Amino acid sequence: MENQANSKNIILNYGLIYGGAVIFTNLIIYALGMTFDTVGGIINIAVLALCIILLPILAIKKFKGENNSFLTWGQALKIGIGIVALGTLISIIYSHVFAGVIEPDFYNQLNEFQTEKLIDAGMNDEQIEAQLAMQSKFQGTIIGDAIGLLFYVFLGFIVSAIAGAIMKRTEEDQY
C-alpha cells in the first residue's frame, strides 16, 4: 500500500462532527426547556446512538474509499475508536462548561428532579440520601468523566470491530 490515506484527518473531522452534534442537541434541548423531560432524554440518547454507530461506519467507509478499497481491521478500530474518543472528550468539556457557566445550578436542579422521582418510586429518606450521595460522587468529576469516556470508547470499539470485520480488504485478499 504505497499511497495510504491519512486517517488523522478523517478521525478529526468525524470526531468534531460527533462532538458538535451532541453539543447542538443538548443546547436545543436546554433552550426548549426539555433538560429533565423524557422526550429530551430520548432525543439525546437517539443522537448519541447515531453518532456512536453511524459516524464510525461512515468514516471507515470513507477511509477505505480513499485507500484504494483497502482496509485492515486495525485501521478500522483506530478510526472508530478515535472518532468516539474525540467526540466524547468534546462532549465532556461541553458538559463542564454547561454546568459551570451556562447553568451553574444544574446539579442542584438534577438532585431535586431525582429526589422527586425517587420519592415517587417509594424510597424512604435514607435510601434517597444514599442514592444522591452516590450520584454526586460521579457528577462532574474526573472519575465520572473517565468512566463515561471508557464506556463510550468501548461502544466505539464494538461498532468499529464489527464494521472493520465486514469491510476488511487487504492486498493479500486479492491473491
Per-residue pLDDT of the chain (175 residues; tens, 9 = 90+): 445 678 999 999 999 999 999 999 999 999 999 999 889 999 999 999 999 999 999 999 999 999 989 999 999 999 999 999 999 999 999 999 999 898 888 888 888 888 888 888 888 888 888 888 888 777 878 998 999 999 999 999 999 999 999 999 887 766 5
Q: Is residue 131 part of a domain?
A: no
Q: What is the pTM of this model?
A: 0.87
SS3 6: coil
Sequence-ordered strand ranges (E) for 25-138: none
* Own/partner pairs, 113-118, CB within 8 angstroms, 24+ separation: 113/36
Between CA 15 and CA 63 the distance in angstroms is 14
Q: What domain range is 58 assigned to?
A: 7-104+144-174
Residue type, 110: L
Residue 169 forms beta bridges with which residues? 71
Cβ distance 65 to 168 under 8 Å? no
* Count of structural domains, the chain: 1
172 close to 85: Cβ distance less than 8 angstroms: no
Let me know if residue 16 belongs to a domain: yes
Inter-residue contact 66 to 5 (CB < 8 Å): yes
Tell me how crowded residue 165 is: count the other CB atoms within 10 A of its CB: 10
Tell me if 157 is assigned to some domain.
yes
| 120 belongs to a structural domain | no
Report yes or no on 26 lying in a domain. Answer: yes
The per-residue pLDDT for 114 is: 84
Q: What cell was used for 74?
A: 486495525
Is 64 within 8 Å of 71 (Cβ atoms)? yes
